């Protein structure tokens, strides 16, 4: 009797709570890690393929199409800051976590099961999620032995991602590009380096633009102010001098002119006198 009991209990439980059996084969995959990993993959890994007009092969575990919750992510809609709705059934939740739980509980059939499905969060170690994401704090000490193990995992992963139709030098250089983008950071010197993300290069361009505009703006402003000082100020003083001279002219010239006139009169008088 005592031996039977756990079996009966389990049977009863699985009849009453179908979820209990679902939990048993629930996949252990951190959605938070996976979201960060997906971001990094899209930021640094996918561009290698896009830039060379290649497609990510299905053999590649970093292929976002293989992400076990990829379909769930496509059925998420954030309608408002505190409203996340399920695009399978329309139910809405206050947080993304509640919606994630809803997917697990109600739409468990939509996940892409392993081995085809991959937990992208499991690649957070080689993708350095802890360095890239603010949610984590980067480790203070570096263990080269550990990083060597990660580097081996990284190179193995990267080799699975080479498009099958590439060969020879093209294949070699493609592997090298992937290594440089992902695996090269797995050394103590480079581990804490931030990714050279597209967003940061956009920021860099904006920063440069603003910097250059400010520089030329400053020059133009400086020139305007200086020409104001150099032109308006002398003009002012020039006009002041002119005005002062006019006043002087008037004061000086009028008696001068008068004298001249008088003189002229006199001369004419004399002339007429002499004519006479
Ligand atoms: C470094 O990592 C390796 C492998 O995980 C471990 O065996 C070793 O004890 C670590 N060394 C230090 C100094 O933490």
Q: Please choose, from the candidates 70, 63, 65, 66, the residue with its C-alpha nearest in 3D space to the C-alpha of residue 48.
A: 63
The per-residue pLDDT for 215 is 83
Between 1-10, 31-40, 75-84, 262-271, the lowest mean confidence (pLDDT) is in 262-271
Best of 139, 140, 146, 191 to mutate for ligand 1, by most ligand atoms within 8 A of CB?
Answer: 146
Mean pLDDT of 242-247: 53
pLDDT at 237: 53
Which of 145, 147, 148, 152 has the most ligand 1 atoms within 8 A of CB, as the residue to mutate? Answer: 145
- pLDDT(206) > 50: yes
Q: What distance in angstroms lies between residue 192's CA and the mean position of ligand 1's atoms? A: 18
CA 151 to centroid of ligand 1, rounded, Å: 15
CB of 105 shorter than 6 A to ligand 1: no
Choice between 214 and 124, residue whose per-residue pLDDT is larger: 124
Find the length of the chain: 276
Q: Which residue has the higher pLDDT, 262 or 207?
A: 207
Q: Which pLDDT value is given to residue 50?
A: 94
| Percent of the chain predicted with pLDDT > 90 | 54
Q: What is the chain's mean pLDDT, rounded? A: 79
d(CA 181, CA 184) in angstroms, rounded, equals 7
Q: Is the CB of 55 under 6 A from ligand 1?
A: no
> What is the rounded CA–CA span in Å between residue 87 and residue 84?
10
Distance of CA 146 to the CA centre of its chain: 30
- Per the model's pLDDT, the better-predicted residue between 270 and 186 turns out to be 186
| pLDDT band at residue 270 under the 50/70/90 scheme | very low
Q: 250 pLDDT exceeds 50? A: no
**Cα(120)–Cα(36) distance, rounded to whole angstroms?**
9
Long-range pairs of 105-113 with CB within 8 A, sequence gap ≥ 24: 105/19, 105/22, 107/72, 107/75, 108/22, 110/71, 110/72, 110/75, 111/27, 111/68, 111/69, 111/71, 111/72, 112/66, 112/67, 112/68, 112/69, 112/70, 112/71, 113/27, 113/68
Strand partners, 77: 85
Sign of CA dihedral 148, 153, 156, 157: negative
CA-CA-CA-CA dihedral for 51, 52, 55, 61, to nearest 10? -80
Checking if the pLDDT of 105 tops 90, the result is yes
Can you tell me the mean pLDDT for 229-251? 52
Buried b (16+ CB within 10 A) or exposed e, 171-192: eeebbebbbebbbebbeeeebe
Please report how many Cα atoms fall inside a 13 Å half-sphere around the Cα of residue 245, on the Cβ side: 6
Average pLDDT of the segment spanning 166-190: 95
User: What value does the mean pLDDT take over residues 150-172?
Assistant: 96
Whole-angstrom Cα distance, residue 181 to residue 33? 19
The encoded tokens of residue 121 equal 């969060």
122 CA distance to ligand 1 middle (Å): 20
Residue 201 has pLDDT above 70, yes or no: no
The answer to whether the CB of 146 is under 6 A from ligand 1 is yes
The pLDDT, as a whole number, for residue 68 is 96
This prediction's pTM: 0.63
Nearest residue by C-alpha to atom 13 in ligand 1: 143
């Amino acid at each position: 009797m005592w031996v039977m009991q756990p079996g009966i209990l389990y049977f009863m439980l699985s009849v009453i709570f179908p979820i209990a059996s679902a939990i048993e084969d629930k996949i252990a995959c951190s959605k938070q890690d996976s979201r960060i990993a997906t971001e990094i993959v899209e930021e640094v890994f996918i561009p290698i393929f896009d830039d060379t007009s290649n497609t990510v092969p299905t053999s590649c575990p970093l292929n976002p199409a293989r992400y076990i919750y990829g379909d769930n992510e496509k059925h998420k809609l954030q309608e408002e800051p505190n409203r996340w709705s399920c695009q399978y059934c329309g139910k809405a939740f206050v947080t993304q976590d509640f919606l994630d739980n809803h997917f697990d509980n109600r739409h468990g059939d939509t996940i892409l099961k392993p081995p085809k499905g991959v937990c992208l969060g499991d690649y957070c170690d080689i993708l350095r999620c802890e360095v890239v994401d603010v949610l984590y704090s980067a480790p203070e000490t570096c263990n080269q032995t550990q990083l060597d193990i990660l580097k081996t995992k990284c190179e193995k992963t990267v080799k699975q991602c080479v498009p099958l139709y590439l060969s020879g030098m093209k294949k070699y250089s493609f592997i090298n590009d992937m290594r440089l983008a992902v695996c090269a950071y797995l050394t103590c010197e480079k581990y804490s380096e931030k990714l050279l993300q597209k967003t940061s290069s956009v920021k860099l361009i904006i920063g440069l633009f603003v910097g250059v505009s400010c520089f030329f703006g400053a020059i133009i402003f400086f020139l305007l102010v200086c020409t104001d000082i150099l032109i308006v100020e002398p003009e002012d003083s020039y006009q002041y001098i002119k005005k002062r001279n006019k006043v002087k002219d008037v004061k000086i010239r009028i008696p001068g002119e008068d004298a001249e006139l008088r003189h002229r009169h006199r001369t004419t008088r004399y002339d007429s006198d002499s004519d006479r």
